[in-house]
């Protein structure tokens, strides 16, 4: 058929952009304009921050919200890159796992204030006298509140790939590159997406600390929602706090619609079980991407580039396949393991000696013992709160995970609640404790679990939603009810996912203790006995030795608990409850 004989309606539809093209153009150009404005601000001098202090004007929240949202998006991209590399190496290499998994435990336990105090000078030196250095420091601080949870989730997924899928990959002779993108990433995608949402909320939880950069006696306050909240708390302005909550809700809703809702709808493609009669998840952004002609051309060009890169990687792997097979036939020398572990032990010992000399020069042995006792007090709070959160959220998470339609409604609500910074509850908590003469040691404790309890809920939802449909039908046909159903079907299925959430919630609670054990509301100041309050007070006083002492003791507590309690449970779950 000749082109000039086609109906005019067809010719028009191929040339004139449709309504989804208009939506796509508006969104793309809006994002480009916003990114260009944000990039222009990076080149301004640091003196500009003092010239334009944070204002509690509600209209300023539009720009502040955009700046905070961009920092969190960049941190999320960096966290994804870290997750795909770090967790993959830890899951596939026995020697690397012995180093990387404990290191991840330590990194998770280091408070965000510790990362800021150590790295801020480095980032500021990258761009002397410019705002970009302070922005990099803030983004890195947000990264530290997002990356560890995602890495744990991806590591757990890689270790629990079903054996039949592994056999299929070997049968098709998939190389490492194709196996990663065709099997491992799709299998891990549902759990990873939920933990991405949780990590984004975790970034909001610490946004106040990340946007106030302290260097010596100078504090650099970056424009953002966190700085707005900090100023509102300092001035005891409840109206401004209300505006900040509204701005956070809008930003979380935008992220949900533009990023997480499409990702969740896409994750349905990678689920092992598809329930008949279930309405698939939908997202208007996915509809736009599929129906926009302009984005379709861009997508095809991008897919062609990826296809060429994939073919290049396969060709490179084929050329290297013979040497790799020959190397695999050789047994590693017996001295490799002693050399590897000996080198790690020497590095760890040298680091401990260096820190001990630094701390001991200004801290007595009696104070070190006192800090250990403070750590035991915080440990008691963490253990009790994790137990209570598990009893509450495991049944709720199972009920939500088994009902996908309910899960879609609950997801944005839980995401918003998880993003609530503990600082926003300071007015209510501090006023209540002072008015009723309550004990801060008890009533400040719930603030520790405020943001971390959602790790348990989100992971249990993922575990319940991945429960095989055949297993559910067997339980229904045999009329298994009550505790028997929980002990034989539900708990074994969600146990590996629950452990991932509980480990992350435990480490996050230690981190949140710095915010929760020392609450301020204007001139009112309440302190609970614990390691978090010790680190917060040392950091605010600029006492580097006591800050390092508190961070080291907290890290040791978390690593010992993970090694002696959580990791044995993790190994038991992999061995006993792996879906095969």
CB-based burial of residue 196 (10 Å sphere; 0-12 exposed, 13-18 middle, 19+ buried)?
A: buried
Q: Count of CB atoms within 10 A of residue 290's CB?
A: 11
Question: Highest mean pLDDT range out of 255-264, 288-297, 420-429, 550-559?
Answer: 550-559
Residues 202 and 146: beta-carbon distance below 8 Å:
yes
Quote the percentage of the chain above a pLDDT of 90.
10
The pLDDT, as a whole number, for residue 110 is 76
Domain assignment present for residue 269? The answer is yes
The pLDDT, as a whole number, for residue 133 is 84
The three-state secondary structure class of 158 is: helix
Domain count, the chain: 1
The pLDDT, as a whole number, for residue 310 is 62
Handedness of CA 41, 42, 44, 46 (dihedral sign): positive
Integer Cα distance of 96 and 350 in angstroms: 20
In degrees and rounded to multiples of 5, residue 161 shows phi and psi of -65, 130
Q: Please compute the mean of the pLDDT values over residues 213-232 and round it to a whole number.
A: 78
472 pLDDT band (50/70/90 cuts)? Answer: confident
Quote the percentage of the chain above a pLDDT of 70.
81
Domain assignment present for residue 22? The answer is no
- The CATH code of the domain that includes 411 is 1.10.3720.10
Half-sphere exposure of 518 (CA within 13 A, CB side): 14
Place of tokens 């790790």: 455
The pLDDT, as a whole number, for residue 1 is 44
Domain assignment present for residue 8? The answer is no
Q: Please compute the mean of the pLDDT values over residues 310-332 and round it to a whole number.
A: 53
Residues 17 and 294: beta-carbon distance below 8 Å:
yes
In degrees and rounded to multiples of 5, residue 212 shows phi and psi of -120, 100
Q: Please compute the mean of the pLDDT values over residues 19-41 and round it to a whole number.
A: 69
What is the extent of the structural domain holding 495?
A: 46-291+355-576
13 pLDDT band (50/70/90 cuts)? Answer: very low
The 10s digit of each residue's pLDDT in 51-100 is 678 889 999 888 888 888 888 889 999 999 999 999 999 988 877 887 88
Domain assignment present for residue 225? The answer is yes
Residue 271 has pLDDT above 70, yes or no: no
The pLDDT, as a whole number, for residue 316 is 54
Domain assignment present for residue 168? The answer is yes
pTM for this entry: 0.78
The pLDDT, as a whole number, for residue 370 is 92
CA-CA distances (angstroms) from residue 209 to 138, 203, 221? 9, 10, 10
Half-sphere exposure of 230 (CA within 13 A, CB side): 22
The pLDDT, as a whole number, for residue 329 is 46
The pLDDT, as a whole number, for residue 3 is 46
The pLDDT, as a whole number, for residue 8 is 41
Residue 37 has pLDDT above 70, yes or no: no
Residue 275 has pLDDT above 70, yes or no: no
Residue 382 has pLDDT above 90, yes or no: yes
What does the radius of gyration of the chain's CA atoms come to, in whole angstroms? 26
Residues 493 and 474: beta-carbon distance below 8 Å:
no
DSSP annotation of 220 reads E
Domain assignment present for residue 194? The answer is yes
Residues 253 and 412: beta-carbon distance below 8 Å:
yes
Q: Which two tokens stand for residue 426?
A: 């300071």
Domain assignment present for residue 557? The answer is yes
Q: Over the chain, what is the mean pLDDT? A: 79
Integer Cα distance of 140 and 123 in angstroms: 9
The pLDDT, as a whole number, for residue 498 is 92
CA-CA distances (angstroms) from residue 557 to 110, 371, 380? 11, 11, 12
447 pLDDT band (50/70/90 cuts)? Answer: confident
The 10s digit of each residue's pLDDT in 435-446 is 788 888 888 888
What's CA 263's distance to the chain center, in Å?
A: 16
Q: Please compute the mean of the pLDDT values over residues 382-387 and round it to a whole number.
A: 93
The pLDDT, as a whole number, for residue 217 is 61
Q: Count of CB atoms within 10 A of residue 318's CB?
A: 10
Residue 5 has pLDDT above 60, yes or no: no
End-to-end CA distance of the chain: 54
The pLDDT, as a whole number, for residue 327 is 40
DSSP annotation of 219 reads E
CB-based burial of residue 556 (10 Å sphere; 0-12 exposed, 13-18 middle, 19+ buried)?
A: middle
The 10s digit of each residue's pLDDT in 214-223 is 655 667 788 8
Place of tokens 């603030």: 447
Q: Count of CB atoms within 10 A of residue 55's CB?
A: 14
18 pLDDT band (50/70/90 cuts)? Answer: low
Integer Cα distance of 453 and 501 in angstroms: 9
176 pLDDT band (50/70/90 cuts)? Answer: confident
Domain assignment present for residue 539? The answer is yes
Residue 573 has pLDDT above 70, yes or no: yes
């Amino acid at each position: 058929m000749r082109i000039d004989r086609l109906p005019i309606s067809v010719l028009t539809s191929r040339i004139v952009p449709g309504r989804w093209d208009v939506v796509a153009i508006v969104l793309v150009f809006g994002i480009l304009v916003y990114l260009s404005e944000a990039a222009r601000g990076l080149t301004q001098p640091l003196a500009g921050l003092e010239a334009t202090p944070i204002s509690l004007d509600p209209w300023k929240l539009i720009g502040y919200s955009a700046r905070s949202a961009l920092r969190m998006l960049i941190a999320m991209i960096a966290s994804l890159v870290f997750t795909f590399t770090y967790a993959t190496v830890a899951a596939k290499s026995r020697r690397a796992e012995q180093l990387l998994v404990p290191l991840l435990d330590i990194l998770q336990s280091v408070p965000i204030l510790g990362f800021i105090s150590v790295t801020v000078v480095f980032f500021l030196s990258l761009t002397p006298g410019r705002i970009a250095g302070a922005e990099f420091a803030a983004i890195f601080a947000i990264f530290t509140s997002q990356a560890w949870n995602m890495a744990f989730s991806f590591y757990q997924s890689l270790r629990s790939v079903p054996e039949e899928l592994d056999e299929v990959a070997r049968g098709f002779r998939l190389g490492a590159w194709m196996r990663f993108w065709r099997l491992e990433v799709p299998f891990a995608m549902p759990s990873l997406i939920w933990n991405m949402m949780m990590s984004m909320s975790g970034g909001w939880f610490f946004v106040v600390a990340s946007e106030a950069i302290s260097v010596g006696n100078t504090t650099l306050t970056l424009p953002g929602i966190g700085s707005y909240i900090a100023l509102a708390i300092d001035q005891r302005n409840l109206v401004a706090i209300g505006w900040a909550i509204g701005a956070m809700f809008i930003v979380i809703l935008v992220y949900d619609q533009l990023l997480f809702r499409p990702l969740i709808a896409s994750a349905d493609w990678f689920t092992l079980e598809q329930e008949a009669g279930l309405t698939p998840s939908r997202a208007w952004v996915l509809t736009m991407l599929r129906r926009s002609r302009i984005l379709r051309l861009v997508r095809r060009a991008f897919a062609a580039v990826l296809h060429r890169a994939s073919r290049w990687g396969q060709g490179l792997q084929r050329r290297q396949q013979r040497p790799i097979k020959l190397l695999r036939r050789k047994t590693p020398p017996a001295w490799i393991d002693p050399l590897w572990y000996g080198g790690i032990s020497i590095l760890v010992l040298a680091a401990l000696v260096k820190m001990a000399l630094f701390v001991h020069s200004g801290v007595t042995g009696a104070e070190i013992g006192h800090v250990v006792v403070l750590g035991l007090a915080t440990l008691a709070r963490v253990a009790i709160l994790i137990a209570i959160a598990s009893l509450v959220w495991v049944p709720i998470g199972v009920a939500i995970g088994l009902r996908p339609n309910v899960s879609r409604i609950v997801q944005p609500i839980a995401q918003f609640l998880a993003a609530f910074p503990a600082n926003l509850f300071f007015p209510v908590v501090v006023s209540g404790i002072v008015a009723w003469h309550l004990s801060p040691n008890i009533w400040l404790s719930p603030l520790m679990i405020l943001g971390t309890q959602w790790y348990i809920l989100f992971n249990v939802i993922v575990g319940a939603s991945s429960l095989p449909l055949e297993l559910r039908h067997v339980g229904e046909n045999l009329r298994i009810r009550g505790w028997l159903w929980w002990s034989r079907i539900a708990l074994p299925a969600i146990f590996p996912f629950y452990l991932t959430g509980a480990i992350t919630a435990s480490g996050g609670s230690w981190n949140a203790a710095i915010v929760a054990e020392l609450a301020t509301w204007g001139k009112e100041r309440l302190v609970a006995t614990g390691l978090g309050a010790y680190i917060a007070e040392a950091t605010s006083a600029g006492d580097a030795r006591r800050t390092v002492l508190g961070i080291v003791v907290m890290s040791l507590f978390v690593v010992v608990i993970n090694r002696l309690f959580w990791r044995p449970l993790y190994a038991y779950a992999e061995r006993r409850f792996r879906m095969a």
